[in-house]
Chains A and B, each alone.
Chain A
C-alpha cells in the first residue's frame, strides 16, 4: 500500500514549461541532485534554493508543458518534492513523473483553496487531499500506476521484471 504524502506546499501559476523547470543546457545531467541545483534558475529571485523547504508543488493549468525532457520530473525529486498537484498537466510531464516515481495528482480546486506554506496531506491510494478543514478528491490512481510509484519508477520496475525473467529475483 502506497504511503500518503504530507508536506508544505509551494505554489506556481499556469503554463510552467519544462524549459523553465530545467533549462536544456543542464540535460547533460541525469542525477536528481545535480539537476535540482539549476531547476527554475531562469526565474532568478532566489530560485531554486527557496524551494527546498517545501515538499509538495502545487500549480495551475498545463504544468510541465513544452519539451518531453524527463529531467523536468527528476529535478523536482532532487529538490525534495514528494508530489506534484496541478489543475492540469501536459501529457509528457504526466507520464515522465509517473515513470520517475514522482506522485502526480490532477485536482482542479486545490491551487485556489490553499496558500503557500500550508501543510496538506495526500492519500494517493484513496484519492483524497486534506488541506486544513477542507477535503478534496481526485480520481483514484489505477493500480498499475500505483505499482510504478511504489517501486520508485519505471526503471526500478523494469529491473524487478528483469530479475524475474533471468531467475535472479523472487520466484527464480
Chain B
C-alpha cells in the first residue's frame, strides 16, 4: 500500500510559553508592522493600515459608496491601485458607464496606479509593475489576492464597501490568523506542476481546510521553484479557504523583483525560527500525479487517470492561476507542430499585456494559435464567464481556479480544472488526457 501523499500533525503552542514573547510567523509580522504593534498573537484583532488597496472592475461600486457617504478626501491616493480586468473591454453600455466612472475617479483623485482595459488581470499586472513587495499588506476586491504571497506579501480579499472604507480611513480591522506550515518534500515528477500539488491539497483538506488561516509553504524544491509556479500555489490556496498564503521570499523572489520596484526599498520577511504554527502538513511530491478538479467544486479532485477520456467541447488557457508566460510555454511545448482535436474550441487568454507581448516575441503565441487556438485580449475572460460562455450540456477543461456551477455560462454545463500541460494534452485528443504521454 502506498503511503498518503499528505499527512498532518499538530504542533500547538505550549500554554506554558504563553507569557514569554514568541517568534512570529510571516502573517503575524506583517499585521504587527501595519498596526504599529511590536508583536501580535492569533485571534488578536488589530487596526491595520494596508500598503495597497486594489480594486478591479468593482471600482465603480466603491465610488458609488463614496458618493453615498458624501466623502471627498482620500487617505492616500498612492496606496490605491485600480485595474479594469473583468469584462474588459466593456461588453454592454452599462459596463461602459461603470468603467467611465472608474476612470473619472482615478483622474479626479490622481490615482497613479491606474491600469485600463489593456493591462490584464489585476494581480499579475500589480506584481509585474512592482507594486507588490515582500512584507506588504494588500487588500482588494478579489478573493485571489492571496496570490501576492508568492512575493511574501499578505494579500486578502474584501468587499467593495470595505474598499471605500480603506480609501477614506486608510485602515481596516483584521483578525490575526493562525498559521499552518506546509512542508514539501521531494520534487515534482515529470508532468506534475504547482497546479497539481494545489488540487491535491484542496482535495485532501477540503474547501474549508484552512479557513481563516495563513499558510506558509516550505521545502527543498522551493529554491528552484519559479515565481510563476509560486503564484499558482498562493492563488489556488484560496480554494481551501485561507486568509493568506506565503512562499517565503528568497533569491528567486529577489531576482523577480530586480528592476521592478523602481528603487523602492523593502526589508526582507521571514518567519522567526521559533514561530508557532497551529499544525504542520507534510506533502511528499514524489508520488504526486497530474490532478483534475471535477464539477462543481474545486475540492472534487481526482488523478487524471480516473477521468481520462471525458469528452470536451472547450478548453480555456487563462486566469490568474495559470495564464502566466511560463504556463503558455508549457502548453506550447506540447502543442508545437500539432493540431488540436477538430471538435474542440481552444481559447487562449494571456494573463497580462506583458505576458502576451513576451509570448508574441518568443513565438509561443504563434504555436498556440497554429495548433487551433483562438486568442483573446488579456484579462479575466472566460474564467468569470466573460466570453467563452458555455451552452447546456457542454464540457470545458480550464486552467482557472474555480469550477462552480454556472460560473462559465449554463448551469447545465460542466467545468473541469487542470494544469496547462493537462489542458494541452487534452486539447489534442478532445478528451481529458494524461500530459505525461506528451512530455
Q: How far is the CB of B150 from chain A (nearest CB, A)?
A: 18
A2 interfacial contact with B, CB 8 Å: no
Q: Does A59 contact B (CB under 8 A)?
A: no
Query: A65 to B298, alpha carbons, bound, how many Å?
Result: 11
Count of CB-CB pairs between chains A and B under 8 Å:
117
Chain A residue, CB-CB nearest to B60: A30
Of the A-B pairs whose beta carbons lie under 8 Å apart in the complex, a sample of 16, sorted by A's number, is: A15-B299, A19-B405, A20-B405, A23-B406, A24-B407, A62-B207, A65-B207, A66-B143, A67-B143, A70-B160, A73-B159, A90-B241, A92-B159, A99-B162, A142-B45, A159-B69
A101 (CB) vs chain B CBs: closest residue: B161
**Taking beta carbons and an 8 Å cutoff, which residues of B are in contact with A?**
45, 58, 61, 64-65, 68-71, 86, 92, 94-95, 98, 141-143, 145, 156-162, 164-165, 168, 173, 207-208, 211-212, 241, 243, 297, 299, 384-385, 402, 404-407, 411
The distance in angstroms between the C-alpha atoms of A95 and B162, with both chains bound, is 9
| Residues from chain B with Cβ under 8 Å of A158 in the complex | 65, 69, 71, 164-165, 168
A69 to B70, CA, bound (A): 23
A23 to B164, CA, bound (A): 23
**Shortest distance from the beta carbon of A104 to any chain B beta carbon, whole Å:** 13
Q: B353 to chain A: closest CB distance in Å?
A: 23
Min CB gap B57→A, angstroms? 8
A61 near B208: Cβ-Cβ < 8 Å = yes
Complex partner residue of B208 from A19, A62, A155, A166, CB under 8 angstroms: A62
How far, in whole Å, are A30 and B67 apart by their CA atoms in the complex?
A: 14
> Does A100 interact with chain B (Cβ within 8 Å)?
yes
Contacts of B58 in A (CB 8 A): 27, 69
Chain A residues packing against B (C-beta within 8 Å): 15, 17, 19-20, 23-25, 27-28, 30, 41-44, 61-62, 65-70, 73, 88, 90-92, 95-96, 99-100, 142, 144, 153-155, 158-159, 162-163, 166
Contact B161 A99 (CB under 8 A): yes
**A161 → chain B, closest Cβ, in Å?**
8
A99 touches B159 (CB 8 A): yes
Knowing A96-B159, A162-B71, say if A68 contacts B142 (CB, 8 Å). yes
State in angstroms the CA–CA spacing of A28 and B64 once bound together.
13
CB distance from A75 to the nearest CB of B (A): 13
Instruction: Indicate if the CB atoms of B64 and A30 lie closer than 8 Å.
Output: yes
A166→B169 CA distance, assembly (Å): 15
Cα of A28 to Cα of B241 in the assembled complex, Å: 26
A66 and B162 contact, CB distance less than 8 A: no
Quick one: given A42-B405, A68-B159, A95-B162, are A144 and B173 in contact (CB under 8 Å)? yes
| A24 B385 Cβ-Cβ under 8 A | yes
Instruction: For the complex formed, measure the closest distance between the CB of B206 and the CB atoms of chain A, giving whole angstroms.
Output: 8
Cα of A24 to Cα of B85 in the assembled complex, Å: 14
Beyond A20-B405, A65-B208, whether A155 also contacts B161 by CB under 8 A is yes
Given contacts A24-B407, A68-B159, contact A88 B208 (CB under 8 A): yes
Q: Which residues of B contact A155 (CB under 8 A)?
A: 65, 68-69, 161, 164
Partner of B406, one of A19, A30, A96: A19
B159–A70 CB distance below 8 A: yes
**A23 partner residues in chain B, CB cutoff 8 A:** 385, 406-407
Contact partner of A17 (CB less than 8 A), chosen from B164, B385, B404, is B404
Chain A nearest CB: distance from B173 CB in Å? 7
Docked CA distance A42–B402 (Å): 16
In the complex, what residue of chain B is closest to A165 when comparing beta carbons?
A: B71
Choose one: B61, B68, B241; the contact of A65 (CB below 8 Å): B241
- A42 interface neighbour in B165, B243, B406, Cβ under 8 Å: B406
Which listed residue (A42, A65, A66, A67) contacts B411, Cβ 8 A?
Answer: A42
CB distance from B347 to the nearest CB of A (A): 17
B298, closest chain A residue (CB): A66
A92: chain B residues at CB < 8 Å are: 143, 157-159
Q: Are A68 and B143 in contact (CB under 8 A)?
A: yes
Partner of A25, one of B64, B164, B385, B405: B385
Distance in angstroms between the alpha carbons of A90 and B241 in the assembled complex: 6
Of A30, A68, A73, A159, most B-chain CB atoms within 10 Å = A68
